[in-house]
Structure 1
Amino acid sequence: MRRTVHLAALLLAASLALTACAAGAREGRPRGPEAPAGLTVHAGTATSVHVMWNRADAGEDISGYEVYRDGERVTQVPGEKYMVDVDGLRPSSRYTFTVRAKDGEGNLSPSSREVTVTTLSDHQDETPPTRPEGLRARADGSRAATLTWREASDDTGVTSYDVLQSGTTIHSVAGDSATTLITGLRPGTEYRFTVRARDAAGNVSPASATATLTTAEGAGGGENTAPTGFRAVADGDGQHLELSWVPPDTGVRTTEYEIHLDGEFATTLVWDTSASEERVTHRLHVGGAPGTRHTVRIRAKLPDGHWGAFTPERAVTTATPSG
Structure 2
Amino acid sequence: MSRTPVLRPAVLLSCSITLLALTACGSEDERPPAAPTGVTAQSSSATTVHVMWQGVKAAKDGEAVEAYEVLQAGKKVKEVDADRTMVDIAGLKPSADYVFTVRTRDAAGNHSTPSRKVTVTTPAAPTEDAKPPTRPGQLRGKANGSRAADLSWTASTDDQRVVSYDIYQGNAKIHTVDGKETRAVLTGLRPDTHYVITVRARDAADNLSPASAPLRLTTDGKGGGGGEEPEDFRASVRKNTKDKAYYLDLSWTPPRTDALKAEYQVYLDEVFVTTLAADDDAPEGRARHTVYLGTEEGKTYDVRIRPRLSDGSWGAFSTEGTVTTGS
Q: Same fold (TM over 0.5)?
A: yes
Identity of aligned residues (%): 43
In the alignment, what sits opposite 1:116?
119
In the alignment, what sits opposite 2:156?
152
In the alignment, what sits opposite 1:232?
none
In the alignment, what sits opposite 1:317?
none
The CA deviation at 1:241 is 7.3
In the alignment, what sits opposite 1:139?
143
Q: How many residues align?
A: 270
CA distance in 2, matches of 1:181, 1:51: 16
1:200-215 equivalences under 5 Å are 200-215=204-219
The CA deviation at 1:115 is 2.3
- 1:64 is aligned, of 67, 89, 94, to 67
Q: Does 1:76 align with 2:79?
A: yes
In the alignment, what sits opposite 1:230?
none
In the alignment, what sits opposite 1:217?
221
CA distance in 2, matches of 1:72, 1:190: 39
The CA deviation at 1:271 is 3.9
In the alignment, what sits opposite 2:48?
48
CA distance in 1, matches of 2:137, 2:230: 27
Q: Does 1:193 align with 2:200?
A: no
Query: Is contact 2:69–2:76 with CA below 8 Å preserved after alignment?
Result: yes
SS of residue in 2 equivalent to 1:38: strand
CA distance in 2, matches of 1:57, 1:38: 14
Q: Does 1:38 align with 2:38?
A: yes
CA 1:197–1:46: 2 relative to 1, 3 Å: same
Q: Does 1:284 align with 2:287?
A: no
| Structure 1 portions without partners, runs of 5+ | 1-12, 228-234, 259-266, 288-296, 310-323
Query: Is contact 1:58–1:306 with CA below 8 Å preserved after alignment?
Result: no
- 1:130 is aligned, of 134, 157, 175, to 134
CA distance in 2, matches of 1:114, 1:86: 15
SS of residue in 2 equivalent to 1:39: strand
Query: Is contact 2:59–2:106 with CA below 8 Å preserved after alignment?
Result: no
CA 1:180–1:285: 2 relative to 1, 3 Å: same
SS of residue in 2 equivalent to 1:194: strand
Q: One-letter code of the match for 1:136?
A: R
The Cα offsets for residues 205-224 of structure 1, whole Å up to 9 and x where unpaired, read as 11111000111111543167
Query: Is contact 2:168–2:199 with CA below 8 Å preserved after alignment?
Result: yes
- 2:100 is aligned, of 79, 83, 97, to 97
CA 1:97–1:73: 2 relative to 1, 3 Å: same
CA distance in 2, matches of 1:149, 1:58: 36
CA 1:278–1:93: 2 relative to 1, 3 Å: farther
Query: Is contact 1:167–1:194 with CA below 8 Å preserved after alignment?
Result: no
Q: One-letter code of the match for 2:70?
A: V
The CA deviation at 1:97 is 1.5
CA distance in 2, matches of 1:56, 1:306: 10
Q: One-letter code of the match for 1:100?
A: R
Larger helix share, 1 or 2: 1
The Cα offsets for residues 32-86 of structure 1, whole Å up to 9 and x where unpaired, read as 2112222221222111111111211367621210112222221111111111110
Query: What TM-score, normalized by structure 2, do the two folds share?
Result: 0.66
Q: CA RMSD in A?
A: 4.5
Q: One-letter code of the match for 1:63?
A: E
CA 1:216–1:244: 2 relative to 1, 3 Å: closer
Query: Is contact 2:230–2:317 with CA below 8 Å preserved after alignment?
Result: no
CA 1:153–1:282: 2 relative to 1, 3 Å: farther
Q: One-letter code of the match for 1:78?
A: D
SS of residue in 1 equivalent to 2:54: coil
CA 1:136–1:98: 2 relative to 1, 3 Å: same
CA distance in 2, matches of 1:225, 1:174: 23
Query: What TM-score, normalized by structure 1, do the two folds share?
Result: 0.66
CA 1:116–1:239: 2 relative to 1, 3 Å: closer
In the alignment, what sits opposite 2:90?
87
CA distance in 2, matches of 1:157, 1:123: 10
Query: Is contact 1:38–1:255 with CA below 8 Å preserved after alignment?
Result: no
The CA deviation at 1:225 is 5.6
